């Protein structure tokens, strides 16, 4: 950490931004895991509902063979089959909605990850520029102190600090002198 209070403040803000980005990313990951668990449960529920439909159809066939004896039971099995098919359709629709939600969450997580990566790079560049500018100022001060006021250094020979380096606007091709 730097001893300059403004740089320390800037470094603290950068660290807070990074911590906030990490919290958002962790939250998105937790949401995705929960959505995946819910999706898996929906798949199991759909399988169970399909099994119930198959079972209901089987019961209906058995009851139909003894229709003269068990007409009432036959009607109940048909109703159970219809209910099971309705349940299956509802569960399939629910599974499709959950799958769409899961895809959206994956896309959102990818977006969060990309934004975090970009923000991390920007913060690293800003910190690098600030540290370079501070080092340049410190070096300039040390040189002016060691040479004294009559060392022959003219205004054209002094090192200048790039003003863009302090504002963070310096790009990768901008050189700090």
**If phi over 0 gives left and psi between -120 and 50 gives alpha, with beta otherwise, what is residue 61?**
alpha
CA R_g for the chain: 35
**Is the residue at 29 inside a domain?**
yes
What is the average pLDDT across 140-165?
59
Q: What is the pLDDT of residues 61-108, one digit of tens each?
A: 877 676 667 678 778 889 999 999 999 999 999 999 999 999 999 999
**Is the residue at 17 inside a domain?**
yes
Q: Is 31 exposed, middle or buried (0-12, 13-18, 19+ CB in 10 A)?
A: middle
**Is the residue at 113 inside a domain?**
yes
**Is the residue at 50 inside a domain?**
yes
CATH number of the structural domain spanning residue 10: 1.20.120
Residue 74, pLDDT score: 77
Return the half-sphere exposure (C-beta side, CA atoms, 13 A cut-off) of residue 105.
Answer: 20
**Is the residue at 177 inside a domain?**
no
**Cα 12 from Cα 128, distance rounded (Å):** 14
Q: In 3-70, which residue ranges form alpha helices assigned H by DSSP?
A: 5-65
């Amino acid at each position: 950490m730097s001893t300059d209070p403004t740089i320390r403040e800037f470094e603290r803000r950068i660290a807070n931004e990074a911590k906030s980005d990490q919290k958002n990313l962790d939250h998105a990951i937790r949401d995705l895991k929960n959505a995946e668990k819910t999706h898996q449960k929906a798949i199991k529920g759909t399988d169970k509902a399909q099994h119930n439909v198959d079972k209901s159809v089987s019961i209906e066939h058995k009851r139909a063979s003894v229709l003269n004896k068990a007409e009432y039971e036959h009607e109940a099995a048909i109703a159970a089959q219809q209910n099971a098919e309705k349940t299956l359709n509802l569960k399939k629709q629910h599974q499709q909605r959950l799958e769409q939600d899961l895809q959206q969450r994956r896309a959102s997580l990818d977006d969060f990850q990309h934004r975090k990566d970009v923000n991390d790079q920007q913060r690293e560049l800003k910190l690098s520029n600030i540290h370079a500018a501070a080092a340049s100022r410190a070096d300039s001060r040390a040189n002016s102190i060691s040479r004294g006021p009559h060392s022959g250094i003219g205004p054209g020979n002094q090192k200048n600090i790039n003003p863009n380096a302090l504002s963070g606007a310096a790009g990768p091709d901008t050189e700090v002198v």
